[in-house]
Amino acid sequence: FADRLQLDALVRSGGRLQWHSRSHQDMTGLSHEDLRHELEVPEELRAIDPAGFKWFAYPYGKSSGTVIEQAEKLFQGAVVCDDGDIRSRYQMPRVTVTNNSSFAQSTVSLIIANYNYGRFAAEAIESA
């Protein structure tokens, strides 16, 4: 629900745009042609973030063999709602993150380049 200026600002700030379909309809019953049209990222949007649009989110979290097969051709991965499969890069379950979320089984590495600016290290770590 962002306009062009907001999308430009997001990308300039380091964000990456991803894709959710053209019309947000349930795609499980679409013809191959209509499905392909829904999955294609319009060039005017792709131009905003040439490095983005690597991941897809299935509308309503619904997918089928055909939809997954087509997503595999166009994206590096995809997410579903609650019935995802952590073993499948194209059926990853969405995770809602709150202040109480815990990723105790996850490992994150963070590198903060810093030369002669040690006084900003704590702030940089908290920000990250």
pTM for this entry: 0.69
Query: What confidence score (pLDDT) does residue 96 get?
Result: 75
Residue in the structure block whose two tokens are 């907001």 = 6
Distance (Å, whole) CA 42 – CA 9: 19
Distance (Å, whole) CA 36 – CA 32: 6
Token pair for residue 63?
């997918």
Averaged pLDDT of the chain = 86
Q: What is the pLDDT of residues 58-117, one digit of tens each?
A: 988 888 899 999 999 999 999 987 678 888 999 998 877 788 877 677 677 777 777 777
**Which residue spans within 1-128 are E strands per DSSP?**
55-57, 77-80, 92-93
Residue in the structure block whose two tokens are 């579903």 = 80
Distance (Å, whole) CA 48 – CA 11: 8
37 in Cβ contact with 21 (< 8 Å): no
Indicate the residue type of 21: S
Distance (Å, whole) CA 78 – CA 68: 8
